[in-house]
Amino acid sequence: MRLPQEIIRDKRDGRALSEADIAGFIGGLTDARVTEGQAAAFAMAVFFRGLSLDERVALTRAMRDSGSVLTWDLPGPTLDKHSTGGVGDTVSLALGPMVAACGGFVPMISGRGLGHTGGTLDKLASIPGYDVAPGLDRFRAVVREAGCAIIGQTADLAPADRRLYAIRDVTGTVESLDLITASILSKKLAAGLDGLVMDVKAGSGAFMARDEEARALAQSIVTVANAAGLPTRALLTDMDAPLACAAGNAVEVAYAVDYLTGRRREPRFHAVTMALCAEMLVLGGLAADRDRAEGRLQAALDTGAAAETFARMVGALGGPSDILEASDRHLPRAPVVRSVAVENAGTVVAVDTRAVGLTVIGLGGGRTRPQDDIDPRVGFSDLARPGDWLGVGDPLGIVHAADEAAAERAAAALRAAYRIGATAPAARQAILERVG
């Protein structure tokens, strides 16, 4: 391959890269011939200069081909969903079991937290014993046995993306449309899927905050995925407020258990989860249309089949078999749990959702460096929603913290993230648009 610095220079100066250049650079990233500094420079050059469609497809394929590509022999379609990330986005934990309970197979390869957003893998890692990095043989066996398995990238699957993903998180290049597209699709193509549904977030808690940016990303992913042979659809969904009323790791697992068992089903979270699941069932030929798909999914929830599937997945990957009945006993709890009282009466007009996510990181629930450990206990629960009326002293939410000082800092940050006013905001739809 050409020297990495020459490839970086070409992209820095706005020149198109050849397929061979991209394949060579990604090969070097995989076997460590490309340094961390060079990878960071490449990411920054792409961030500012962008990639053409041909370059995006070449980057996606090169990252896919940096490791193994799975094939499946199952009595149903292999389907997956991917979210571009948000705050309180607990959908994957419910979605995989719901789709599996309806006859699909969901081999979901998820990531750690990125920027201000939570990561599905970090949430599952808060379950004692849950193996987020099983070998491929165990991964295959759990997908066949339980119908779904949510794990992290193994050393075999898209290893170049795993390295670049960590570098993007700490170099200010997370929001690159081109790098997001290649990162997501390299893992999904390596998973050997029959269909993919994308959840592209828009709003104050999304990487692509404006609707037009989110639409461009959705179109990029759908176009590149289909060009690479993976049937894909996308939904634009709202992230102007945390999707669930919980934000953190263990607190979101508890929320997912409550959702699956019917103890709590918030309307917006339910609407987004059902819409994504329905698209997957239709894409996989498991339902004729979205209405019929939603009927099947509701039955999977109501009968407990989806919850039981979640429990089977957790147990098969080493977690407690009684997670549904005893989540309070198994999930780690923060030593300081207290209410954050509102100081002025009024209606929740807006939430700076990104600020809420950053506050969770400040509590220790996310990373500022790739090597940082995460405290799975911390975060927020019972967060107030836009349109809620609160009297003086009513809770904006409940903070879960490692100590009193951290709880006080987080409480102040949460109050600053909420705007309280006299007039309820106009309702924003949970599902903004369908693409593809």
**Please, where are the H alpha helices in 78-210?**
91-101, 120-125, 136-146, 159-169, 177-190
Per the listing, tokens 């002293």 go with 393
What radius of gyration do the chain's Cα atoms show? Answer: 21
Q: Mapping DSSP to helix (H, G, I), strand (E, B) and coil, where does residue 35 land?
A: coil
- Of the candidates 62, 54, 68, 48, the one whose C-alpha atom is nearest the C-alpha of residue 17 is 54
Check if the beta carbon of residue 321 is closer than 8 Å to that of residue 311: yes
CB-neighbour burial class of residue 73 (10 A; exposed 0-12, middle 13-18, buried 19+) = exposed
CB-neighbour burial class of residue 128 (10 A; exposed 0-12, middle 13-18, buried 19+) = middle
Measure Cα distances from 405 to 148, 339, 366, 390 in Å: 40, 14, 18, 25
- Of the candidates 238, 227, 240, 231, the one whose C-alpha atom is nearest the C-alpha of residue 282 is 231
- Of the candidates 216, 193, 205, 272, the one whose C-alpha atom is nearest the C-alpha of residue 242 is 205
Per the listing, tokens 């004729």 go with 288
- Residue 383's CB is within 10 A of a number of other CB atoms, namely 27
Q: Write out the two tokens for 353.
A: 């959702």
- Of the candidates 246, 303, 245, the one whose C-alpha atom is nearest the C-alpha of residue 98 is 303
Measure Cα distances from 426 to 203, 235, 264, 267, 387 in Å: 14, 21, 25, 16, 9
- Strand 395-401 and strand 379-381: the pairing is antiparallel
Q: Write out the two tokens for 155.
A: 């050393």
Q: Mapping DSSP to helix (H, G, I), strand (E, B) and coil, where does residue 134 land?
A: coil
- Catalytically active residues are 80-83, 120, 168, 183, 187-188
- Of the candidates 218, 186, 161, the one whose C-alpha atom is nearest the C-alpha of residue 64 is 186
CA distance 288 to 274: 15
- Strand 195-202 and strand 232-238: the pairing is parallel
CA distance 412 to 428: 27
